[in-house]
């Protein structure tokens, strides 16, 4: 499968299709659309490792807001193919030009859409990947946008929402699961690709619902500072750090294997987020 397109620009037929796409109403605003090869590789590895069932044949996975060009969409497809995971990917973008930058092929369909996903009638989604999208929205838009996406999830469906730096070497993900008509924030995952950074470096890539809650003295600031102390004292990202964090009530969800792969998983309670402080488990209507 190839993501290459002609350098001569869109054909007359493509221009007509772009004109038609522009007439469709989508919910959302245009984001920068910046992306790069390999940016989501470790995030994809996490998703495929932890939510394998959601990528199996017959399931539908949505890549929401794939960017100006679908390079990371094609990378996800190739990673799924290597693991023989047969779910279909629906790649969604808000600009017709971005939709036209992709080519429908085996296992991938490109469609115009926003938070109101362009699904076939009666179809539900197993997993929605929405990265570096909501970080560019206003904070008050965060939860309503997630609730809209959740309308399209099947029971126990997953939303993976978060932010990475431009190279993908650092990322923070919020994981949400739909259950009995409600959306639950189940964990937050801190992912590093290489270099084993100091935990406070993750502040730069906190998702929108957390970035404004990370100032001095906040629960998030205290959480990252405490994690940083163990990181320095024990010289890095070892299983011993994991044990110390768990024994000191840091709400650790990671196994030793997770930590070895650079997946540091915590309950939102680790940084003061609970059912009483955020609308993450409100009913979806």
Alpha-carbon distance of 218 to 221, in angstroms, equals 5
Q: What is the pLDDT of residue 54?
A: 98
Tokens of 143: 């939860």
pLDDT band at 283 (very low <50, low <70, confident <90, very high): low
DSSP state string for 70-134: -HHHHHHHHHHHHTT--PEEEEEESSHHHHHTS--BTTEEEEE-SSS--PPTT--EEEEEEESSG
Q: What is the pLDDT of residue 30?
A: 78
Between 99-108, 147-156, 234-243, the lowest mean confidence (pLDDT) is in 234-243
DSSP code of 252?
B
Alpha-carbon distance of 15 to 112, in angstroms, equals 15
Does the pTM of the predicted model rise above 0.85? yes
pLDDT band at 27 (very low <50, low <70, confident <90, very high): confident
DSSP code of 23?
T
pLDDT reading at 26 higher than 80: yes
Q: What is the pLDDT of residue 29?
A: 77
Average pLDDT on 53-59 reads 98
DSSP code of 140?
G
pLDDT reading at 9 higher than 60: no
Query: What are the beta bridge partners of residue 252?
Result: 266
Average pLDDT on 6-32 reads 56
Average pLDDT on 226-231 reads 86
Q: What is the pLDDT of residue 161?
A: 97
Residue-averaged pLDDT of the chain: 86
Alpha-carbon distance of 10 to 44, in angstroms, equals 31
pLDDT band at 20 (very low <50, low <70, confident <90, very high): very low
Distance of CA 234 to the CA centre of its chain: 30
Q: What is the pLDDT of residue 236?
A: 61
Cβ–Cβ contacts within 10 Å for residue 60, how many?
22
Q: What is the largest CA-CA distance in the chain?
A: 64
Q: Which domains does the chain have, with CATH numbers?
A: 32-271 (3.40.50)
Query: 213 vs 203, 206, 209, CA distance in Å?
Result: 10, 10, 8
DSSP code of 67?
-
Average pLDDT on 197-204 reads 91
Q: What is the pLDDT of residue 97?
A: 92
Average pLDDT on 38-57 reads 97
Query: Degrees (nearest 5) of the Cα angle 212, 210, 250?
Result: 125
Average pLDDT on 138-152 reads 94
Q: What is the pLDDT of residue 276?
A: 39
Average pLDDT on 85-108 reads 94
pLDDT band at 70 (very low <50, low <70, confident <90, very high): very high
Alpha-carbon distance of 211 to 10, in angstroms, equals 39
Strands (E), 204-281: 263-266
Between 106-110, 147-151, 191-195, the lowest mean confidence (pLDDT) is in 191-195
């Amino acid at each position: 499968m190839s993501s290459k397109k002609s350098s001569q620009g869109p054909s007359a037929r493509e221009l007509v299709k772009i004109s038609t796409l522009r007439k469709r109403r989508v919910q959302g605003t245009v984001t920068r659309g910046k992306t790069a090869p390999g940016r989501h590789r470790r995030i994809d590895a996490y998703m495929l490792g932890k939510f394998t069932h959601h990528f199996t044949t017959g399931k539908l996975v949505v890549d929401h807001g794939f960017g100006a060009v679908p390079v990371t969409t094609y990378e996800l497809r190739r990673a799924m193919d290597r693991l023989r995971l047969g779910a279909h990917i629906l790649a969604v973008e808000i600009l017709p030009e971005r939709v036209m930058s992709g080519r429908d092929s085996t296992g991938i369909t490109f469609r115009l859409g926003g938070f109101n996903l362009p699904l076939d009638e009666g179809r539900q989604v197993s997993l929605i990947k929405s990265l570096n999208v909501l970080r560019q929205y206003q904070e008050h838009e965060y939860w309503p946008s997630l609730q809209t996406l959740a309308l399209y999830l099947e029971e126990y469906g997953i939303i993976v929402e978060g932010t990475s730096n431009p190279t993908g070497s650092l990322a923070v993900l919020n994981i949400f699961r739909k259950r009995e008509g409600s959306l639950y924030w189940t964990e937050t995952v801190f992912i590093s690709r290489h270099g084993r950074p100091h935990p406070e470096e993750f502040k730069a890539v906190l998702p929108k619902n957390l970035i404004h809650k990370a100032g001095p003295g906040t629960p998030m600031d205290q959480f990252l500072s405490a994690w940083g102390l163990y990181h320095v004292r024990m010289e890095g990202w070892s299983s011993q750090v994991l044990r110390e964090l768990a024994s000191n009530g840091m709400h650790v969800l990671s196994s030793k294997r997770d930590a070895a792969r650079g997946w540091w998983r915590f309950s939102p309670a680790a940084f003061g987020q609970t059912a009483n402080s955020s609308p993450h488990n409100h009913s979806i209507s």
